[in-house]
Chain A
Amino acid sequence: MKRQLGTMVGGAIAGVFVFNIWGILAGTEALGDAGGWLGGLLIVGFIWTVNHYVGVIYNPEGSVSIDMATAIAVAGTMQGVFGGLPFSAALPTLLWVAVGAVLGGTFAAVVQNAIAEE
C-alpha cells in the first residue's frame, strides 16, 4: 500500500509538471519550438528519475511495467474533461493512438529480440 501511495503521488506530480510547465517552455517566444524540446529534458527527464530511476512508481519484479506516461496521459485528458469538454470527442484520436502504440510496442519487442539473437 505504501508503494502504491508512491505510484499515486508520483503519477499526479508527473501529470501536473508536464501540463503546467510544458506550455510555459513551448510558449516562450525567445525559445520558439526549441522550448518544446526542452520540456523533454527539464520535465520528463527529471520526473523520470523520480518515478522510474528511484522507483516511486511501484513496478514489481516480473510484472508488466506501468510507465508514468499512464498518469500523464490521464491527467492531460482529464484536465479537459473537468473543464467540461466531452470525452467522446477525443475517442477517434485515442483509438488511432492506441493502434499506433500497440504497433510501436510490438515492433520494439521484435527488433530487440532480433538484436539479442545476433
Chain B
Amino acid sequence: MGILNIVSTVFGAMLFPFLILMVWGKGVEERGIFGGLVMGGFIVGTSWLANHGGSPLIIQGQGAPWIDMAWAASIGIMTHGIITGGDFKKSVPTLIFAIIGGIIGGFVLFAAA
C-alpha cells in the first residue's frame, strides 16, 4: 500500500467508530428503538458509501479476503470501552463467542456463494 492509500484507509477507519460512538447512543436515548434504527441507517449507510462505495477510502488488498469497515467499528468501540474504564476481562467470553459466531457466519457465506 502506498502512502495515499494508507492515509485514506486510516481516515475511513477512524470516521466510522467515531460516528457510531458520538451519535448512535443519542438516537436511542431520545427515540428508543426507532432512534437506534434511524441512526443505524444514517451512520452505517453513509459511512459505507465513503468506505466501500464508488471511490472507497478503505483500500482492499489484491486477491485478499475482504476487510470490512466493521473491523474499524469493532476495534474502535473496544478502544473506547477500555479508555473510558471498562473491564476488559469481563468482555473476553463475549469477544470469543462473537468471533466464533463470525467464523460460523463466514462459513455459511462461503457455502452459499
**B residues in contact (CB < 8 Å) with A:** 1, 6, 9-18, 20-22, 28, 33, 36-38, 40-49, 52-54, 58-84, 86-88, 90-91, 93-95, 97-110, 112-113
Find out whether the CB atom of A57 lies under 8 angstroms from the CB atom of B10: no
A10 to B72, CA, bound (A): 19
Q: Are A53 and B18 in contact (CB under 8 A)?
A: no
Within A94-118, the residues touching B (CB, 8 Å) are 94, 96-109, 111-112
Separation of A102 and B65 alpha carbons in the complex (Å): 22
Q: By DSSP majority rule, is chain B's interface helix, strand, loop, or mixed?
A: helix
What total of chain A residues lie within 8 Å of the partner, measured CB to CB?
81
Complex CA distance for A40 and B50, rounded to whole angstroms: 12
Contact B36 A64 (CB under 8 A): no
B16 touches A85 (CB 8 A): no
